[in-house]
Each structure stands twice: as structure tokens, then as C-alpha cells.
């Protein structure tokens, strides 16, 4: 589905550039799903296989699933909808669960960073909120506990409150805010209005783009320094500063997070209070 979407976007761009059909078809053959670190991983695989030939029984298949989801600041439901994966939700969820376990088990302590820990907490909590049995089953095994399920079908236990995992919930809040930054940068008013019907996005964005040409969405724009969170007992107040090309940082999105509703739904429940200039 990543390849399908990438090729669809490429076809549109080629048509705008006036590229003929036969040439478009040839160019499309070169477009595949994203494979970050493909060359590095292939070299490492060959180096390892030189001393461990048994590993060649397995094929290396670089992917970008967790990374794609995190960079797009998408929830599980948004990711499934974006790539039209409704018939493969279980497969995607199992893959995310495997990725979570792999990161937890294989990254050595000296390579662990605060940023990586945030991603691990976010990934684990996201999987847990969709199907807690996947993560709980693995963590039970890791703890050396023996499960003794009753005979017959057993419903998965209800996931713990997403709010209780403060670190993961903070990442979810930042992702939710940055998702709106990304949509604003692409001027996708309809999608923003669907997320926040009463936020007044079209008018606010018109006012922003009267002053600035773009909204930046690079790594600097995603820095936690530009997303301030005031944690209250019942409500979190969030201020997401827009990274504009001039570096003025004079526009901000503010929101309120209802903790009780968030705990009930398993994801941050935002109310955008403003997109306004300082």
C-alpha cells in the first residue's frame, strides 16, 4: 500500500510535468515502498553472513512501518485509513507488536537515548490500547510468569488507562499536535476541519499565510521545545509553536486535553482553542 500510494502520487506529478505514458510506466517501475538504511542494512547483513552462513536462509526486507507512522504523527486508526488497510488491521497490529518487542530486546543500553525511549513507550502504549493482550502476553513471558487461561474463549483484558503512562501519553499528545501542524503546512483545510470542526482553521491559516510563505515540518519543527505542556490534574494545556521560515516563532496552536475523556477513549482528546499570532 505504501508503494501503491507513492506510485499514485508520482503519476500525478509526472502528468503535471507532461511526461508521456510509456516513459511514466518505466519510471514507475523504479518506485517502491520506502526502505530507509537499505544499503547499510544490506552491507551489515553480508558482513554477518560471511561468518554465519546459516543466516542466508532468511531474506533481508527493509521496511518503514513504525518510522513512517511516527514521522507522519499518525494514530493506528489514522495509519490504517491512510493506507486503506482495513482488511489487514490484524497483520499491521502484529507487526507493530513484533517491532516493539524487538526494540525492547535488542537495542543495547549504550545505544538507548531519551528520544528512543519515548518512541518505545509510544509504540508499546499504542499497541496496548488497540489490543492489550499482545503486549501483556509478551511482558508476562518476559517476567517469567506462567499463564493459566481458562478453557474456552477468553476476551482480552481491558487496557490500562492511557493517561497512566505519562511518558507515552506525552508523546501521543505531541504527535496529535504535530499532526495538525503537518496538515496545516499542506493546507488541508478539510482534514483539519474534520478533526476540529469549531477551531476556525481556514480563517486562521489565511491569516498565517498572509505573513509567512510556509509552515516548516522538519526535525526542528518537531522539537519538544516547540511543544509546551502545562499538566493539570484534569486538563493539560498545550502550546505548539509554529516553525516559520523567518524563525520568528510568532504563531502558535493552543489546545486543551481532557484527561478523563482521553482515558475513556485510549487516545488524547483535544480541543483546539486557538491558532493565533502572539
**What is the SS3 assignment for 225-270?**
HHEEEEECCCEEEEEEECCCCCCCCCEEEEEEEEHHHHHHHCCCCE
At residue 137, the pLDDT reads 61
Give the CB-side neighbour count of residue 243, counting CA atoms within 13 A. 16
Q: Where residue 140 falls among pLDDT bands split at 50, 70, 90?
A: low
> Which whole number is the average pLDDT over 54-68?
92
Residue with the three cell numbers 517491532: 99
pLDDT in tens, 199-241: 999 999 999 999 999 999 999 999 999 999 999 999 999 999 9
d(Cα 132, Cα 75) in Å, to the nearest integer? 16
At residue 247, the pLDDT reads 94
In sign, the C-alpha dihedral spanning 30, 36, 37, 41 is negative
Choose the weakest-confidence range: 32-36, 60-64, 127-131, 243-247: 127-131
- Using N-to-C axis directions, what is the helix angle for 89-106 and 114-130, rounded to 10°? 140
Q: Is a pLDDT exceeding 50 seen at residue 116?
A: yes
What's the predicted TM-score (pTM) here?
Answer: 0.78
Backbone angles phi, psi at 208, to 5 degrees: -65, -50
Q: How many helices (DSSP H) and strands (DSSP E) are in the chain?
A: 12, 4
Q: Where residue 152 falls among pLDDT bands split at 50, 70, 90?
A: very low
More confident residue, 56 or 154: 56
Cβ-count burial 136-161 (b if 16+ within 10 Å, e if not): bebeeeeeeeeeeeeeeeeeeeebee
Amino acid at each position: 500500500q505504501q508503494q501503491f500510494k507513492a506510485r499514485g502520487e508520482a503519476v500525478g506529478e509526472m502528468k503535471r510535468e507532461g511526461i508521456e505514458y510509456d516513459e511514466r510506466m518505466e519510471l514507475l517501475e523504479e518506485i517502491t515502498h520506502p526502505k530507509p538504511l537499505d544499503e547499510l542494512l544490506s552491507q551489515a547483513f553480508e558482513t554477518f553472513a560471511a561468518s554465519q552462513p546459516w543466516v542466508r536462509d532468511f531474506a533481508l526486507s527493509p521496511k518503514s512501518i513504525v518510522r513512517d507512522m511516527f514521522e507522519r504523527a499518525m494514530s493506528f486508526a489514522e495509519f490504517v485509513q491512510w493506507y486503506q488497510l482495513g482488511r489487514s488491521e490484524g497483520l499491521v497490529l502484529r507487526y507493530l507488536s513484533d517491532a516493539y518487542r524487538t526494540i525492547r530486546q535488542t537495542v543495547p543500553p549504550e545505544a538507548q537515548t531519551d528520544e528512543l525511549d519515548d518512541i518505545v513507550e509510544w509504540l508499546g502504549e499504542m499497541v496496548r490500547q488497540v489490543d492489550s493482550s499482545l503486549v501483556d502476553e509478551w511482558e508476562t513471558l518476559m517476567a517469567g510468569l506462567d499463564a493459566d487461561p481458562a478453557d474456552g474463549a477468553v476476551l482480552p483484558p481491558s487496557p490500562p488507562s492511557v493517561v497512566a503512562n505519562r511518558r507515552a501519553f506525552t508523546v501521543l499528545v505531541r504527535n496529535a499536535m504535530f499532526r495538525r501542524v503537518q496538515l496545516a503546512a499542506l493546507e488541508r483545510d478539510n482534514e483539519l476541519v474534520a478533526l476540529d470542526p469549531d477551531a476556525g482553521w481556514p480563517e486562521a491559516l489565511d491569516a498565517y499565510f498572509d505573513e509567512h510563505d510556509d509552515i516548516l515540518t522538519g526535525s526542528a519543527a518537531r522539537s519538544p521545545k516547540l511543544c509546551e505542556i502545562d499538566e493539570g490534574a484534569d486538563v493539560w494545556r498545550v502550546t505548539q509553536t509554529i516553525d516559520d521560515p523567518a524563525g520568528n516563532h510568532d504563531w502558535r496552536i493552543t489546545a486543551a486535553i481532557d484527561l478523563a475523556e482521553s482515558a475513556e477513549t485510549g487516545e488524547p482528546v483535544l480541543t483546539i482553542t486557538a491558532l493565533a499570532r502572539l
